[in-house]
Amino acid sequence: MSQIQERWPPQGLPSGAGIDSGTLAARPAFGNADVYYWATDVFTLFRDTGAAWEVVSAQEYRRYLFTVWERASSAHDDSVAVGIVHYSPLVVTTPYTVDRIGVCCGAGGTGNFYVAIYDSVGELPVNRLAVSASTAHVVNQKIQVPLTVATLRLDPGYYFIALEMDNIVDAFLYADLYPFNQFFPGVDDGPNWYREDLGGYLIPPAVATPAVLIWPDRAFIMWLRVASLP
């Protein structure tokens, strides 16, 4: 644990109060009254009462980073061809550490799907940063799928969440979109939605080579679950 007394204590803390910092998991056992602990991964300040840790202050942060809500007008569920990877853009404005990708399963059967996270080069999905295992579709349920890495740090920038299915029966929730530049030609509306045909149900590629999405007026609703800051 690192001492952060040069930056702390904030106003109102007792004179001479000791403050340590680290992750929440690294917080020591209580029993040393009036010691303070700053949990860096959840932005929360705790005070040891001698009998328990109590929260002094906490900074809220976004728990989920969605792909399309800002442009969605209505939602439906739909399925697509086998082995088609759909890339949906996402903007990250501050550093986040994420650990799962969320999807909304709609109607259908008991097929499987992959999800993955890609970086953006020239507003195109290029390098795969993390991917899930093949995951079973669950009818009419929201699923938050773990990745093959425990956590992934994302710095500010554009990213893409990828979705791929192994059948044409299972459906996922998608949103109708009205691209800003459809009404104001020439205005940069940010990254587009893309698709890539793998020719079969394969793990999403390490390096994407997408074409423009056939349906630019709709996109699957997906999100990243935030594990901590950053």
- pLDDT digits (tens), the chain, 230 positions: 333 333 444 444 554 457 888 889 999 999 988 899 988 877 788 999 999 999 988 766 677 888 864 444 455 566 667 888 989 899 998 888 999 999 989 887 789 999 999 999 988 999 999 999 999 999 989 999 999 999 999 999 999 999 999 988 888 888 776 655 455 556 566 778 888 999 999 999 999 998 866 555 667 889 999 887 77
With a CB cutoff of 8 Å and minimum separation 6, the contacts of 206 are 127, 128
- Name the nearest CA neighbour of 19 among 6, 31, 11, 29: 6
Residue with tokens 């893309």: 194
Q: Where are the domains of the chain?
A: 2-58, 64-228
DSSP state of 129: E
Side chain identity, residue 101: I
Largest CA distance in the chain: 67
- Name the nearest CA neighbour of 218 among 163, 162, 176: 176
Q: How many CB atoms lie within 10 A of CB 4?
A: 15
- The pLDDT assigned to 131 comes to 98
* Cα atoms found within 13 Å of the Cα of residue 165, Cβ hemisphere only: 22
**Angle (CA) 73 110 195, round 5°:** 50
- Name the nearest CA neighbour of 100 among 58, 135, 61: 135
Kindly provide the b/e burial profile for residues 187-225, where b requires at least 16 CB atoms within 10 angstroms of the residue's own CB: eeeebbbbbbeeeebebbbeebebeebeeeebbbbbbbb
Side chain identity, residue 224: L
Facing residues of 64 across strands? 225
- The pLDDT assigned to 188 comes to 61
For residue 137, give both structure tokens.
């579709």
Q: Is 34 left (phi over 0), alpha (psi -120 to 50) or beta?
A: left
Give the strand pairing for 36-39 and 19-22: parallel
Out of 3.30.200, 2.60.120, 1.10.3470, 2.40.50, the CATH code matching 64-228 is 2.60.120
Is the distance from CB of 98 to CB of 226 less than 8 angstroms? yes
Side chain identity, residue 222: M
What does the alpha-carbon distance between residue 24 and residue 95 come to, in Å, rounded to a whole number?
Answer: 18
